[in-house]
Structure 1
Amino acid sequence: MSAAAAGRVGRFYTAARRHPWVLGKVADWKIPLGPYTPAQIAVAVGGGFLLVKTISWWSLLGPIPIAAWLLAIWAVRRPKIQGRAPMQAALGLVLLGWQPQGGRIGGRAARDRAPHPLLGGFTIEDTPSPALAATPSRPAQRHTSPAPHPSPAAARTSTRRRTEPAAPAVPVGPVSGVQQLLALTSQGGGVR
């Protein structure tokens, strides 16, 4: 037997061993027909208050509302809602309604992260054909324009700069600096 298994203790209490909280005595005075559960006390107080406030409505019915009130007090002596006492069931429902919709992670409300745009860019470069590489190269004219100012949100989410689209005209020679150097070295020219 391992040390971890020896340290585990399981306890189970049956319903016969659980004693509910009841009120049977107030000081030295024993409550008649007691003891009473919290549900019975709540029905007695709430129902008595309701009967007193609405006496003008039910007084024509005679003792029927009072008998119904006493029957309700007796009926809630050991109620169970899905195996739980009514107060515990009501507290469970309140706590369930209080929980965040997504649940909790580490005691905090679980929320999805706010959406943000995913920005990126790419450049398409044509590879020079062998016929163009053999011809003397001219410096290619580059299309330059001021870069647009990125929004503050884009500046926070991405550190890359946006690239301008390539010029619509077809370039005659190598376009990038690397391609120009490769063209010079293939022609036998040195780097100046």
Structure 2
Amino acid sequence: MKLRKHFLYGLLLFTTIAFVQCKDSGDDVKADDENELITSVTLNFKEAGTAAMTSFSYKDADGDGGNPASRFDTVTLKANTEYKMTIEFLDESKSLVEDITEEIQKESDEHLLIYTASPATLLAYTYGDKDVNNFPIGLTGTAKSGAAGLGKLKVQLRHQPGAKNGTPTPGSDDVNLNFNLKVQ
């Protein structure tokens, strides 16, 4: 009888812990609003005052998980140069390629792009677009490279339905990539 009582208390404690662990993380994202499937990300850098455009891509045919990326370019930029920067997102997993960039633009009040260079002196990004609530989006902007060096450029697309407040905190990642960054 005593063993059965301990077993029931243990089971109750385990169930309570499991329930608490499965609780919403507090990101305030609607449960029915799923993340986008993105298989291709392309960063476009147009050098200020010229027609020179350089693009760098990430491609993973099956999306996050599964097979490794088939392409993951190193972002290589001129030192101390200003660029107009745009970004494109595609879902190439279907026979008809879906332009996710258009969807992000239409749902701009639910998405935020964050560009983080490490070290920060390699690249500074300034947003060039805003949503209907005057919060940044990040599909277009200005990137200014610093002195020559090597590092990383983290590109995050945050999905923030019903929670976007201009900060990266709410929501979840549709994309979270660390490009190698070379400024020369």
Q: TM-score range by the shorter chain?
A: under 0.3
**Which structure has greater strand proportion?**
2
Larger radius of gyration: 1
Tell which has more relative contact order, 1 or 2 (C-alpha 8 A, sep 6+).
2
Task: State the TM-score, normalized to the length of structure 2.
Answer: 0.20
